Amino acid sequence: MSERYDYVVVGAGTAGCVLAARLSEAPDVRVLLVEAGGREPLPESKVPSAWPQLQGSSMDWADQALPFAGTGSTMTWPGGRGLGGSSMINATSFLRGHRSSYDAWAAGGAEGWGFDDLLPFFRRSEAFVGRDPRLRGTEGPLTPAPVATPHPLSRAALAAAEELGYPVVSDPNNGVEEGFGYCDLNIVGQQRQSAVHAYLGPALTRPNLTVITDSVVEHLLLEDDRCTGVRYRPSEAHVATEPPGRSESDGTRRVYAEREVVLAAGALGSPALLLSSGIGPAKQLQVAGVPTLHDRPGVGANLHDHPMSGVVYRSARPVPPAAPDSNGGGEIKGLLRALPDSTMPDLQMFTAITPMVSRTLPGPDRGAGYNIMIALMLPRSRGSVRLAPAHTGSSGRRSLLIEAGYYQERRDLDVMAAGLDTAREFGASPAFDEWRREQVQPRPGTLDRREIHDYLRRSLATYFHYAGTCRMGTDAMAVVDLALRVRGVSGLRVVDASVMPAPVSANTNATVYAIAERAAELISRPVDAVAVSTDQYSPE
Which residue range is the domain that position 348 belongs to? 147-182+307-376+408-459
CA torsion 412-328-56-33 (nearest 10°) is: -90
CA distances from 349 to 39, 359, 366, 367, 444 (A): 35, 22, 20, 21, 20
Which amino acids are annotated catalytic?
465
Same domain, 421 and 497: no
Count structural domains, the chain. Answer: 2
Q: What is the pLDDT of residue 537?
A: 47
| Dist. CA 472–CA 529, nearest whole Å | 13
pTM of the model: 0.95
Residues 300, 324: one domain?
no
Query: For residue 525, how many other CB atoms are within 10 A of its CB?
Result: 7
Assess whether 200 and 126 both reside in one domain. Answer: yes
CATH code of residue 108: 3.50.50.60
The pLDDT value recorded for residue 64 is 93
One domain for residues 216 and 78? yes
Co-location of 6 and 35 in the same domain: yes
- The pLDDT, as a whole number, for residue 33 is 98
Does residue 235 belong to any structural domain of this protein? yes
Please tell me the predicted confidence (pLDDT) of residue 174. 94
User: Are residues 368 and 431 part of one domain?
Assistant: yes
pLDDT of residue 442: 93
Q: Does 536 reside within a domain? A: no
Residues 23 and 33 in one domain: yes
Q: Which amino acid is at 483?
A: A
Angle at alpha carbon of residue 291, lines to 288 and 297, rounded to 5°: 75
Residue 530 lies in a domain: no
3-state secondary structure 100-148: HHHHHHHHCCCCCCCHHHHHHHHHHHEECCCCCCCCCCECCCECCECCC
Q: Are 113 and 122 in contact (CB under 8 A)?
A: no
Domain boundary among 459, 480, 495: 459
459, 484, 500: which is the final residue of a domain?
459
Please report the pLDDT score of residue 149 as a whole number. Answer: 87
Predicted confidence at residue 535, as pLDDT, reads: 44
Write the single-letter amino acid at 464.
Answer: F
Work out the angle between the directed axes of helices 410-427 and 449-458 (0-180°, nearest 10).
90
Helix extents (H) in 143-229: 152-163, 195, 201-203
Domain end residue (candidates: 442, 459, 476) = 459
Cα 288 to Cα 294: distance, rounded to the nearest angstrom: 15
Residue 539: inside a domain? no
For residue 360, what are the contacts with CB-CB under 8 A and spacing of at least 6?
A: 71, 73, 458
Residue 247 lies in a domain: yes
One digit per residue, pLDDT tens: the chain, 540 residues?
Answer: 689 999 999 999 999 999 999 999 999 999 999 999 999 999 999 999 889 899 999 999 999 999 987 777 888 999 999 999 999 999 999 999 999 999 999 999 999 999 999 999 999 999 998 889 999 999 999 999 999 889 999 999 999 999 999 999 999 999 999 999 999 999 999 999 999 999 999 999 999 999 999 999 999 999 999 999 999 999 876 656 789 999 998 889 999 999 999 999 999 999 999 999 999 999 999 999 999 999 999 999 999 999 999 999 999 999 998 888 888 778 999 999 999 999 999 999 999 887 666 655 667 777 889 999 999 999 999 999 999 986 665 556 778 999 999 999 999 999 999 999 999 999 999 999 999 999 999 989 889 999 999 999 999 999 999 999 999 999 999 999 999 999 999 999 999 999 999 999 999 999 999 999 999 999 998 654 444 443 444 544
Clarify whether residues 237 and 90 are in a common domain. yes
Helix, strand or coil for residue 382? coil
Q: Is residue 401 part of a domain?
A: yes
| 282 shares its domain with 361 | no
Q: Is 82 left (phi over 0), alpha (psi -120 to 50) or beta?
A: left
Using CA atoms, how far residue 186 sits from 132, 425, 510, in Å, is 19, 30, 10
Instruction: Yes or no: say if 45 and 88 are a contact pair by the CB < 8 Å rule.
Output: yes
Same domain, 399 and 322: no
> Which DSSP letter does residue 480 get?
B
pLDDT at residue 533 in the model: 42
In a domain, 534, yes or no: no
> Do 371 and 395 lie in a common domain?
no
CATH number of the domain at 320, please: 3.30.410.40
Same domain for 386 and 433?
Answer: no
Question: Does residue 95 contact residue 507 with C-beta atoms inside 8 Å?
Answer: yes
